[in-house]
Structure 1
Amino acid sequence: MAFVLSLLMALVLVSYAPGGSLGCDLSQNQVVLGRKNLMLLGQMRRLSPRFCLQDRKDFSFPQEMVEGGQLQEAQAISVLHEMLQQSFSLFHTERISAAWDTTLLEQLRTGLHQQLDHLDACLGQMTGEEDSALGRTGPTLAMKRYFQGIHVYLQEKGYSDCAWEIVRLEIMRSFSSSASLQERLRMMDGDLSSP
């Protein structure tokens, strides 16, 4: 319980600290949080992927939509938000892998929550009422379908430890791809704020 309270206090402090305001400044801090979450996913490995070769699956990550340069800023933020929201939901699944270190899992959840809070503010500032329409556009819809496929896979595999290991690797891959999107968004934000 003390650990959870410490995490909540840290979240509050980050939200109100200088440079941690929830405005739509896609700072380097957002990129650092993304890298930290990727690192946490790497540390969560408990099974050798070689042990789970029979469970491999191509989830058809919409990489060209995430890494391609055709997305407008609001669309890119919406896609990134959807990816983080779906990941947050995935790692709150009731049948999460018992093989994972709970401390690392809680740190990952907290990091994803911090990123989501920041992007919620950005989406609200950028789109206002258009926010719900962005969720129905092609790139965001493709991200929803991608995660739907992951949920179906986990169900089909009975939420086995190997299935979770394959999903962990897949989410790491998607987070790695999203790092370029986050960097591009940060640059777009810098271009928009310069005179």
Structure 2
Amino acid sequence: MQRFLWILIPCGMIAAAVVAGTMDIETGPRPEIRVVQAPTQAEGPRYVLEIVNPTSRELVYWGYGANSPMYQMEILEGGKWTNAMLGWCGTGATAERIPPHSTQQFEVSIRDTPSKIGLLLLPRGFKRSEAFQFEWLPYAVRAKLVMWQNDRLDAKLKKKVVWSERLDPLPPQPSSVAYLHARD
């Protein structure tokens, strides 16, 4: 019996460590992207958003600085959300961190159609060497390769994308509508 406990206790500790290491953001409070400032006619289609980290661990994302994340964009076309990938090159990007129980603001410009912004949260221990580097490929090949890679994100990775609410564009100003009708 004593020999059995000597085997069972270490195995139980290893199992507990594995479970603790695989816990993910789905098990607790979810990070979210909130609108801090909506666009105005004077400033154009620029939203100020913030990523909120309600968890007790830091969040990691890829970006060009704390307030410049490599976000994803989807637009509403024909009643369906479709990818409107911006095509970040990745040169100069680093893994950025949001401390536990804090926020980070960033700005986005949207198109003239309803949009939403997504931010991919990276797994713990993410290293730049794990990211694919395609700068040396011709643009057409690189674009197809990135699209292929993005289409094949597994379900677990897609769960790590945090999406904003629907962001609506500004209605056209009356003077620009009149100008467009005058041209026709």
TM above 0.5, yes or no, is no
More helix by share: 1
Q: Which has the larger share of strand?
A: 2
Q: TM-score range, shorter-chain basis?
A: under 0.3
| TM-score, scaled to structure 1 | 0.26
Greater length-normalized contact order (CA 8 Å, ≥ 6 residues apart):
1
TM-score by length of 2: 0.28
